[in-house]
Amino acid sequence: MKLFRTFLALGFLSVLPCTPAATNEHAGHNHASHKHDDCDCDHPESRAPIGVMGDHQHGQGEFMASYRYMFMSMDGNRMGDTELSVSQIGTGGGLGFPIVPTRMYMQMHMLGGMYALTDRVTLMGMLPIKDIRMDHVNVLGVSGPAGSNFRTTSSGPGDLTLSALTRIFENEHNSLHLNLGFSLPLGSISERDFAPSPGSPTFQEVVLPYPMQLGSGTIDLRPGLTWLGQNEDWSWGAQSVATLRLGRNRHNYSLGDQIEASTWISRRINSWVSSSVRLRGLAWGNIDGRDPRLPTVGPLGFPVETMDPNRRGGTRMDILFGANIQIGSGWLKGHRIGLEAGMPLQQYLDGPQLQTDWTMTAGWQYAF
């Protein structure tokens, strides 16, 4: 826990040096943070890449609806910074797990809404709808032939996040706002599917491991800072947001704390298209406690790595490329479309653990 409080502090400090030293306030004039009559907010580069949440504010009384489709592919296993084969993880010459995950795909539909109470305070809510699929190899032949493959799935709503974005600094080209939020545990932590069951000759309906659950089961704090800047053709920014778990859930565990920090730059191509590049760093901890519903068998105490609470932490650095499209005329005027995709530059995992292959976000926003 102390480690991730430190990451949080460092993430906030990484944003602060980017803000201007002088506090030259210009009332009602900001290109980056919210909408005013004299603002160039209809330009495509005036918003962060679509994968950044809580990046901007709105003028008093303004609403915004949004939808994002997010996809993440995980392929192969890694321990530390070393990739491992199935034989290196499985029973017989490996780490001793009788079941080894090989791939995971997660699709997420993120529904969002924003409302500006004042020019300084914007409220935001986000609800994810998840679809998770994980493929495995039955190395030892638990409840089935050795070497056979099977898949487990889960789907449904995740945890609801509510936030307030409060501006604490603004001048002609830069702004800084505080992200203060929390998540409510609406996502299920009791997802089940049919899988090999130790001691049984057939597949049984079992509680799925931690990565296959849809929520955290805890109320989580989500503090953060966002800095934005813009001139005539360029925009830039940085954001740090932490997820801090408050206690354990009803099954006696809590997911690890997490911090995500991003920095990006965008360039206007023409009056309706901009391109962007973003660096994103993530660090997350191991699970505190243990779900007693998960079995403990085999040389390492767990039939599969995803059930081990001490093999869930890690760090990752991604590079992502994006584009924003701002429709400026016709019956779709004011609608904004964004696309961003990327891959890890580096990842270090408390594994063995599935490694991220690539991610993608596509989204739509409309303010009224």
Q: 130-159 pLDDT, tens per residue?
A: 999 999 999 877 767 777 899 999 999 999
- Provide the mean pLDDT of the chain: 87
What pLDDT score was predicted for residue 65? 97
With cut-offs at 50, 70 and 90, classify the pLDDT of residue 328.
confident
For residue 41, what pLDDT band results from cuts at 50, 70 and 90? Answer: low
For 130-174, give the DSSP string: EEEEEEEEESS-TTS-TTEEEEEEEEEE--EEEEEEEEEEE-SSE
**Burial class for 172, CB neighbours closer than 10 Å (0-12, 13-18, 19+):** middle
Is residue 195 within 8 A of residue 234, CB to CB? The reply is: no
Residue 47 has what pLDDT?
86
Terminal Cα distance for the chain, rounded: 41
Dist. CA 283–CA 315, nearest whole Å: 4
Domain count, the chain: 1
CATH code at position 7: 2.40.128.130
Single-letter code of the amino acid located at 116: A
Rounded to the nearest 5°, which phi and psi values hold at 65?
-105, 145
On whether the CB atoms of residues 295 and 307 are closer than 8 A, the answer is yes
Which pLDDT tens digit goes with each residue over 5-19? Answer: 434 443 443 444 343
Domain enclosing residue 42, as ranges? 2-367
Whole-structure pTM value = 0.86
pLDDT value, residue 44: 73
Report how far residue 135's alpha carbon sits from residue 306's, in angstroms, rounded to the nearest whole number: 12
Residue whose entry in the numeric block shows the structure tokens 């545990």: 185
112 contact partners, CB below 8 Å, separation of at least 6: 53, 64, 65, 66, 67, 68, 124, 125, 126, 127
